[in-house]
Structure 1
């Protein structure tokens, strides 16, 4: 048991720090090595390890990643970023449009893919307009995180929660959709207030003073239309059919991979294989830890102290706090096995999605989207420090969390 606990703690230390201290082992590597170590140590058998992986969740996530990557290779994301950033509007109005686009796209497509595809272009286009790219990147990132919380296909943690709790698309949307939508004007208002009077390029602040206008983005209208039709079918099937969601997503991926114009390897190149491996590794690590009985004892102690994870508000707060320690996907995977949802399944799923989605804007490392924006901006010569991110992220998080807590209290009453 001691060795199992040690492996578990080391894996989640890596989740929190982004890598295992002293080693070049990132989160994915730690999850994979941890799963292997659990099997070698005898903490879980190889058969139990394979059985612990929720292939339905992994399959749905993979399928929807392929759907989202179809929009990348068709040029849709780049074209959208260009059209939005070049609108002849004021800086606050442009910020509002970006918040709406970021939140809307992330609710229907995997938010991390949206951020990866659009961040470099947003940097180039805002610089070409003589604008300070930082507030636009931060608002886009914040909106992608909060907007994605509104649907069960908006982010990987939502998909995991939905599959594990057996949530319907409509039920999830009816509870999480409204607060996710309400978060977008909060994001816009707070970022606009913080950066008022600082819309243009600051001098000597580590931001390039000039940037050439980016080349026009080519949009393949046929492939974009095809991806759009497939997406409409997927959402409609989720809403109106009882087909297994993983089969719907995988079927959609298969349709898009059979293509005469775009090579399948180009679509698969945009799949986040590291995330898929991380999730599978954590399923094994968590199952091995659960077999010791220690998590159940801890949960009983928490209930004795008055903290009940089956209460939506408690789960919302715990999920939000935990996601900023180990990351939103690991947080959901840690909490899900210990929930007994019953009739409150949709409320609990929404509480998890809103808690992990809204709290992830607090600091850079609170979400993969935040890390992507900061790292890709740095690669383009734009530095967003930890303090700069938190200066906007903390008030955005507090406002959105307070709003959603009120909503959860209302629906739980």
Structure 2
């Protein structure tokens, strides 16, 4: 039987737990506070709020999170990463290989999952031979932002714009391919000068991870099937199949996904669409003339620097139907200030490296300026 003192201690710890969780998930905490303020300033029926969510996007994101988690838990990605770098002989070659690996993975399993593979890989290789971890972290953050531009699976804003645009998977890839190629090429040119052809010996590295082939194989097959269903606007059916199957067989693929990210996405739709409906906000943004392709692009690139590219995409989609211009804008917006993309924050957090923010911005902001200019040219001439 709990005593009175135990009960009081538990009650006293509740505020501390809430504060602790708020610091752990600051984006979620901010969205909850903003929603509360909006409901006080301009109250809406609580029953209306769920109708403001783009549920096909949320369902598609949930399915992809489960499938990428299954592939991650199978050990396949880390095993593959170690095999890829096994014969690298120089620092520059390693950097280029890791950039390609990060960019390639981010096209298929989202940019944050790609980081959960390549950053731990860098740290494990650093235990074998000295590596410029800080510099590699910066370039890998930029790499997943560049690579994830290509496909609807690469990042949440692409996923949302793919659903909103109502275009096929292939058409989306074709439209974003020039920007992805340009940003990736820029990154490789920069990496050539940033990393030296210093000799490295990684021959002693061996992939110790065991691959659960059944887990990886089933996840890969379901991944293809789910994408096809989402492409045909049947994400709900795909999610039921994926979630139901994994709950019966390997429930960790469902239980261990980033549920906070799903909640953040739901609240983003509600909060940002509520903000967009505020008369002064609506009139201000509508006055920007976002029906123009170039203005929609610039708005996406610039607004991402203030509120990150996922919220920017959701908010600006209320004012323009040009999904391609908006996709270009928020993709470039992932560079520049660190908040432009959550992947930047994830990379630094995983690397556990101090003093990275200043050098990150010394690279990322000029990259954003040049990338924005080139993206505008591509948009106008593609």
**Superposition TM-score, scaled by structure 2 size:** 0.84
2:268 is matched with which residue: 257, 282, 298?
282
Change (3 A) 1:65 1:249: farther
Highest RCO, 1 vs 2 (Cα 8 Å, sep ≥ 6) = 1
Deviations 1:290-314 (A, max 9, x none): 4432233113432xxxxx2122222
Asked if residue 337 in structure 1 is aligned to residue 291 in structure 2, the reply is no
The Cα of 1:199 is off from its aligned counterpart by 8.4
Change (3 A) 1:326 1:291: closer
Distance 1:316 1:252 in 2: 37
Asked if residue 139 in structure 1 is aligned to residue 139 in structure 2, the reply is yes
Q: Which residue of 1 aligns with 2:52?
A: 52
Is residue 362–residue 390 contact of structure 1 (8 Å, CA) maintained in 2? yes
Change (3 A) 1:99 1:149: same
Deviations 1:227-285 (A, max 9, x none): 2222233344456xxx314236514633651454x3x1x21354222222122112222
Is residue 57–residue 159 contact of structure 1 (8 Å, CA) maintained in 2? yes
Deviations 1:61-83 (A, max 9, x none): 11111111111100122213322
Distance 2:268 2:228 in 1: 31
Q: Pairwise CA RMSD of aligned residues?
A: 2.7
The 5 A counterparts of 1:88-107 are 88-107=88-107
The Cα of 1:351 is off from its aligned counterpart by 2.5
Stretches of structure 2 lacking an aligned partner (at least 5 in a row): 1-18
Asked if residue 385 in structure 1 is aligned to residue 356 in structure 2, the reply is yes
Change (3 A) 1:269 1:80: farther
Asked if residue 223 in structure 1 is aligned to residue 223 in structure 2, the reply is no
Stretches of structure 1 lacking an aligned partner (at least 5 in a row): 1-19, 201-211, 303-307, 342-347
DSSP-derived class of the 1:337 partner: coil
DSSP-derived class of the 2:48 partner: helix
**Superposition TM-score, scaled by structure 1 size:** 0.78
Is residue 82–residue 121 contact of structure 1 (8 Å, CA) maintained in 2? yes
Deviations 1:319-354 (A, max 9, x none): 111111111111111111111x2xxxxxx3233223
Distance 1:249 1:311 in 2: 36
Number of matched pairs? 358
Asked if residue 172 in structure 1 is aligned to residue 172 in structure 2, the reply is yes
Change (3 A) 1:193 1:115: same
The Cα of 1:376 is off from its aligned counterpart by 1.3
Is residue 67–residue 227 contact of structure 1 (8 Å, CA) maintained in 2? yes
Q: Which residue of 2 aligns with 1:375?
A: 349
DSSP-derived class of the 1:47 partner: coil
Is residue 377–residue 384 contact of structure 1 (8 Å, CA) maintained in 2? no
Asked if residue 67 in structure 1 is aligned to residue 48 in structure 2, the reply is no
